[in-house]
Amino acid sequence: MTESFTYVNGILHAEQVDVARIAAEVGTPCYIYSAERLRHNYKEFRDAFAGMDIHIHYANKANPNLAVTRVLAACGAGADITSGGELERALAAGIKGQNIIYSGVGKTEVEIAAALKADIYQFNVESMPELHAINKVAAQMGKKTAVTLRVNPDVSARTYKKTSTGELGTKCGIDMVQLEEAMALFKTLPALDFKGFQVHIGSHVYDYEPFREAFLKLAELTHAWRARGYTVERLDLGGGVGIPYDGQSLAPFADYARTVRETVGNLGCQIAFEPGRRLVGDAGILLSRVTYDKQGHSNRFLILDAGMNDLIRPAMYEARHSIIPVKQSGAEQTALADIVGPVCETSDLFGVDYRLPGVGTGDLVAILQAGAYGAAMASTYNGRALIPEVMVSGNQYAVVRRRIAIQEQIDWESVPDWANVATH
């Protein structure tokens, strides 16, 4: 737990608000975010690089909720986006185009044009065809735009295989052996203004040594291309810094900051970061109620009203979140239980062998570290509603996304007349 989610008189509180009250008034399941924790995390990140010329661009993909983004924007954060939709969200949250970085391997010409219209800070370019596409659209619009090249440093992030993006064979970035060809294109693409290099080796990286290896390669590139007459004024170090999930340990964030200073801190470059999970991960919980306490032949199951459609990380990555009771109990330790959801497959599993004293049917539990890649990756699988999101600040709270009911989802759809015709 963090200082923003603590027990007060035996009841879990989000800042100064009893989460059982939120459950009663909003319903479960729901996400709860702490504005205070968001501000704390941003300040900690910013202050770790005091004295350096840094830009912090919140990775909108981690949690695109407008209220979350607005809180971080008020602290000074820009945005890192990966789609036209995220561009619209960042702008709607009050982030100016000049504080937006556009990443991602599949930018369409329509999305590129929208980003150029918004006058974004830079494109992180991941392929040579993309260089041509941005140049084409920018030239048609009479603009010249800043770009950095995302390089693939061939560094293992030592994290989940599905979120490791810095090794050869992944779709992300330009391989080092292709960099010469990519750099040569700037002589023939006049609408592009080369600014520097970017690297992002993966998500939830909790061993800082891969960062050191990748950043040293950026430093080598900077020296090499400066020696050839190129101006390298920006280095974008991406994101990926992990947070401690259940049972995990993580080196102090100061160690990451020291890694940055020791590898690229003396190059005279503007340094950009794209943190997501680091800013929002521990600022959110998933609040859920136990529907059934089921005792099988060999396993006990606590079946929640939240499912993998609400939080897919355990099913997709085998991630293990901390799970705690909302009401502390004086009961002796109870039998181990598997914490599962209502969705009709065995991957709908939040974790095995949890011990939650005093928790049974009807009781509330909180799944911690759920602020990142929770609601952002939610679905309506099994015909389930998109659940509410709530933000707390001090002793007040607000629903910042209401429940999207099934009837509303049905209303999105239409049935053509010919669907009523039976064939034999």
* DSSP 8-state class, residue 167: S
Closest CA to 319 of 362, 277, 351: 351
Torsion of CA 112, 118, 122, 123, to 10 degrees: -10
30 is a catalytic site residue? no
Give the H or E element holding residue 181. Answer: helix 179-184
How far apart are alpha carbons 58 and 90 in whole angstroms?
A: 10
Contacts of 83 (CB under 8 A, 6+ apart): 104, 111
Cis ω for the linkage preceding 325 (within 30 of 0): no
Other CB atoms within 10 Å distance of the CB of residue 143: 15
Closest CA to 329 of 363, 304, 306: 363
139-to-93, 135, 188, 382 alpha-carbon distances in Å: 29, 6, 12, 47
Catalytic residue among 30, 75, 172, 344: 344
How far apart are alpha carbons 351 and 333 in whole angstroms?
A: 18
How far apart are alpha carbons 378 and 289 in whole angstroms?
A: 18
Half-sphere exposure of 180 (CA within 13 A, CB side): 1
401-to-49, 68, 109, 125, 228 alpha-carbon distances in Å: 34, 11, 31, 33, 52
What single string gives the DSSP state of each residue in 180-215? Answer: HHHHHGGGT-TTEEEEEEE---BSSB--SHHHHHHH
Return the active site residues: 344
